[in-house]
C-alpha cells in the first residue's frame, strides 16, 4: 500500500488535500483491465509498456508510435476502444501523444505529434 494525496474541492469551493491509499492489487487490476481491453481489440501485441505507478496518470506506450495518456483508472475499456479507433484512422507515418484521459478534452481524443 502506498499513500498519495489528491486535491478535491469542498462545499465552500476550497481545494483541500485528501489522503488516499493505493494498493498493489489496485494497480494490478488496472493493468489487467487494460490488457483485457487490448486483447478485445486484438492489439495486445502492439503495447510495449504500461505505467500504473500513478493511478491518476496511467500511461501506455503503443509500439514506437504513440504515448497514450489514459488518465485515471475509470472507463479503461472505453478509453482503449477510443484509442484503437483513433489509431486506425491515422496514417502510418503519424506518431505522438494521444490524450485519452477525457480531462482536457471531455468529448474527444487529443493528439500532439512528436516534434
pLDDT tens digits, 74-112: 999 999 999 999 999 999 999 999 999 998 888 999 999
pLDDT at residue 5 greater than cutoff 80: no
pLDDT at residue 19 greater than cutoff 60: yes
pLDDT tens track for 32-87? 999 999 999 999 999 999 999 888 899 999 999 999 999 999 999 999 999 999 99
- Is residue 78 within 8 A of residue 63, CB to CB? The reply is no
- Is residue 69 within 8 A of residue 44, CB to CB? The reply is no
Q: Which three cell numbers stand for residue 44?
A: 495486445
Helix pair angle (76-89, 24-40), 10° resolution: 40
> Taking the chain, what is the end-to-end CA distance rounded to the nearest angstrom?
38
Amino acid at each position: 500500500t502506498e499513500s498519495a494525496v489528491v486535491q478535491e474541492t469542498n462545499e465552500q469551493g476550497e481545494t483541500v488535500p485528501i489522503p488516499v491509499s493505493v494498493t498493489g492489487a489496485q494497480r494490478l487490476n488496472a493493468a489487467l483491465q487494460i490488457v483485457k481491453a487490448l486483447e478485445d481489440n486484438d492489439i495486445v501485441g502492439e503495447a510495449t509498456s504500461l505505467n500504473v505507478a500513478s493511478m491518476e496518470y496511467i500511461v501506455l506506450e503503443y509500439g514506437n508510435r504513440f504515448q497514450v495518456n489514459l488518465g485515471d483508472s475509470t472507463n479503461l475499456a472505453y478509453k482503449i476502444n477510443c484509442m484503437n479507433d483513433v489509431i486506425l484512422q491515422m496514417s502510418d507515418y503519424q506518431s505522438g501523444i494521444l490524450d485519452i484521459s477525457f480531462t482536457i478534452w471531455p468529448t474527444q481524443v487529443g493528439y500532439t505529434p512528436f516534434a
